[in-house]
Structure 1
Amino acid sequence: MPTTRNPGIDSAEEIAASIVICTYRRPELLAACLDSLIGQQVGGASPGSAHEILVIDNSALADGRPAVECRQTAFALRGVPLRYVLEERPGVSFARNRGVAEAAGALIAFIDDDERACEGWLERLLEPFHRLGDAVDIVAGEVEPDFGALSRPDWLADDMLHFFSCRWGWDSESRFLHEKEWFGEGNCAFRKRLMAGRAFPSDLGRKGDGLLTNEGIIFMEMRSAGAATYYVPAATVSHLIHPDRLNRRWLMRRMFYQGVSNRLTQRRYGLEEQRWDFNVNMAKLADLDVESLEGESLRAVIRLYYQLGYAAASGMN
């Protein structure tokens, strides 16, 4: 599978961290993400202060390659290798696993192609590893929504933002996360050694335009095995909320597939599956004017679509 490497990089220089960007057919967003990484620094007192950037393109069309190749010289002038890797097996899990395999750094940071790193993002994300040493295994940052040229819809309440992988909001100060406090794969860093004997599950996670999720369950594995996770709200990225997702019908579809993903995850790990007793008139549900819902009515339908997805997963392999 093709890989492109930077010209003019001293391969003897120690790479402290690898930034991995998994992308799928969004070259304009990938370009903006890469531009936000120019000038980012590792910081700290770790051995080696260099970092590299790996773009893992999950499209057989390789449409992310031009965005990478036209920026390689600019990054090389700053001493940052920028590499392009084509991973044709469909699914973000294959892309994440390829990124881990290709990474030269002892620390790996993930940022998504529809995100942009805010000023000082990388240094803040990696700072706990330098300051606290082996007491920290995983660091999670915060994700702020970016609505682009559109206004935030009135119906999109703060407690719904995490459905769009934004605004975890665990605290205003940095601290260790508790067991049930989660984070997103789009803004985190971890020690590569934690991946020994592990892989992102290829039956979960996004494939193309599909909405399956939960490939990040691998971090739950790590944490269950004792990996300490630190939260840094100041290590922030902005996440573009795509215009075609800013409607309630997309959110219903999103929640249906979250239900599917959660049940498949529980089955994979032998966890107790939930049971609900509910009757749904599908004809009436189909006629429901979803786009008129807000507040508690919207939340109730969100829960219903989640439960429908969860129930639908019972017959899936």
Structure 2
Amino acid sequence: MSTPHSPTPGGPEITASIVICTHRRPELLGACLDSLIGQRMGPWAGGGSPGLVHEILVIDNSALAEGRPVVESRQAAFALRGVPLRHVLEARPGVSFARNRGVAEAAGALIAFIDDDERAGDGWLERLLEPFQRLGDAVDIVAGEVEPDFGALPRPDWLADDMMHFFSCRWGWDSEARFLRETEWFGEGNCAFRKRLMAGRSFPTDLGRKGDGLLTNEGIIFMEMRSEGAATYYVPSATVSHLIHPDRLTRRWLMRRMFYQGVSNRLTQRRYGVAEQRWDFNVNLAKLADVDVETLEGENLRAMIRLYYQLGYASALAMN
């Protein structure tokens, strides 16, 4: 495992930094922080030496800094547990700017990401970071599982299991911990990695969410790492719950989501010189506009999802 270090000379050593990127969602941020209060590194952390072993950084991606009072109201509770909690303002809009700032501010040799609309399950941090100790240099990245949280609403009948990936949930690669295969992916909202992997790298700021936009794929940086040999370990028991906002529980939102996934994928392929896909399809936009997507079910819904993805992919040609 990487050697922990102190953010200040003579201060306690910090092994891992938990980074939360947030944007104008103070209530969700509060719930996320509350889920972290009881988290521990595990008995192996710090080699048994006293002192701090992890910190929490909240990277506030809003010039209004709505997250500051949320952080300040909880700093004392974390301090009682020996965990420093810091608020860092990153006013440049975009989750990639926030992630890059989190990496730059992190004192730990290990960095763990959790999103502001997620809550950590019991034992999350210990389970997520344990492979770094047990497997040593054989592991570079660890990914956990994400469970959907529908809040007070029931899960919609039309939302099938194979559509959960579109909501960044349920990777479902295995019931046991193991190394991921090259074709198996994970989400940025529940992962940990060695900070040294970021040397010379940064999350691409032309990709990823900005405000209410739906561009994605800033996590392509992890694909870069893996293509260069970074071994990724999957721990299904390191779970977080992801709140699915009620506004997203519509087929219409899903169509918009898939359109921008198509845009994001083509921009990513162009950026990295990957061969682009070609499809032959004709779309009558007037007829498409008349389709009530909220009535679609089963294979008809899946066909519409594919169509909106293809439309976004084709539209990316006109985007810079």
TM-score by length of 2: 0.95
**Distance in 1, Cα, partners of 2:206 & 2:97:** 10
Q: Which residue of 2 aligns with 1:39?
A: 38
The aligned amino acid for 1:204 is L
Gaps of 5+ in 1: 1-8
Which of 292, 306, 309 is residue 309 of structure 2 equivalent to?
306
Shift of 1:32: 0.1
Does residue 224 (structure 1) correspond to residue 223 (structure 2)? The answer is no
Instruction: Give the 3-state SS of the residue equivalent to 2:41 in structure 1.
Output: coil
The aligned amino acid for 1:295 is G
Which of 192, 206, 221 is residue 189 of structure 1 equivalent to?
192
Q: Which residue of 2 aligns with 1:258?
A: 261
Which of 220, 223, 243 is residue 240 of structure 1 equivalent to?
243
**Distance in 2, Cα, partners of 1:82 & 1:122:** 15
Structure 1 runs of 4+ off > 6 angstroms?
Answer: none
Taking the TM superposition and a 5 Å limit, the aligned residue runs for 1:197-208 are 197-208=200-211
Shift of 1:43: 1.1
**Distance in 1, Cα, partners of 2:232 & 2:287:** 45
**Distance in 1, Cα, partners of 2:273 & 2:43:** 41
Cα 1:51–1:315, aligned 2, differ >3 Å: closer, same or farther? same
**Distance in 2, Cα, partners of 1:11 & 1:176:** 37
**Distance in 1, Cα, partners of 2:64 & 2:145:** 32
**Could you tell me whether the CA contact under 8 Å between 2:46 and 2:53 is conserved in 1?**
no
Q: Residue deviations 1:186-219, cap 9 Å, x none? A: 0000000000000000000000000000000000
Q: Which residue of 2 aligns with 1:22?
A: 21
**Distance in 1, Cα, partners of 2:186 & 2:201:** 19
**Distance in 1, Cα, partners of 2:319 & 2:92:** 21
**Distance in 2, Cα, partners of 1:97 & 1:294:** 40
The aligned amino acid for 1:37 is L
* RMSD, aligned α-carbons: 1.1
Taking the TM superposition and a 5 Å limit, the aligned residue runs for 1:157-168 are 157-168=160-171
Paired residue total: 309
**Distance in 1, Cα, partners of 2:279 & 2:68:** 47
Instruction: Give the 3-state SS of the residue equivalent to 1:296 in structure 2.
Output: helix
Instruction: Give the 3-state SS of the residue equivalent to 1:271 in structure 2.
Output: coil
**Could you tell me whether the CA contact under 8 Å between 1:32 and 1:116 is conserved in 2?**
yes
**Distance in 1, Cα, partners of 2:44 & 2:26:** 35
Does residue 209 (structure 1) correspond to residue 212 (structure 2)? The answer is yes
Cα 1:43–1:281, aligned 2, differ >3 Å: closer, same or farther? same
Instruction: Give the 3-state SS of the residue equivalent to 1:54 in structure 2.
Output: strand
**Could you tell me whether the CA contact under 8 Å between 1:44 and 1:127 is conserved in 2?**
no
Q: Residue deviations 1:9-61, cap 9 Å, x none? A: 99711101000000000000000000000010011524366100000000011
Which of 143, 147, 156 is residue 144 of structure 1 equivalent to?
147
Q: Residue deviations 1:115-136, cap 9 Å, x none? A: 0000000000001001000000
Q: Percent identity?
A: 85
Q: Which residue of 2 aligns with 1:79?
A: 82
Which of 50, 54, 72 is residue 51 of structure 1 equivalent to?
54
The aligned amino acid for 1:21 is I
Gaps of 5+ in 2: 1-7
The aligned amino acid for 1:83 is R
**Distance in 2, Cα, partners of 1:28 & 1:126:** 27
Instruction: Give the 3-state SS of the residue equivalent to 1:212 in structure 2.
Output: coil
Taking the TM superposition and a 5 Å limit, the aligned residue runs for 1:103-142 are 103-142=106-145
**Distance in 2, Cα, partners of 1:261 & 1:53:** 30
Which of 287, 290, 294 is residue 293 of structure 2 equivalent to?
290
Q: Which residue of 2 aligns with 1:6?
A: none
**Could you tell me whether the CA contact under 8 Å between 1:176 and 1:230 is conserved in 2?**
yes
TM-score by length of 1: 0.96
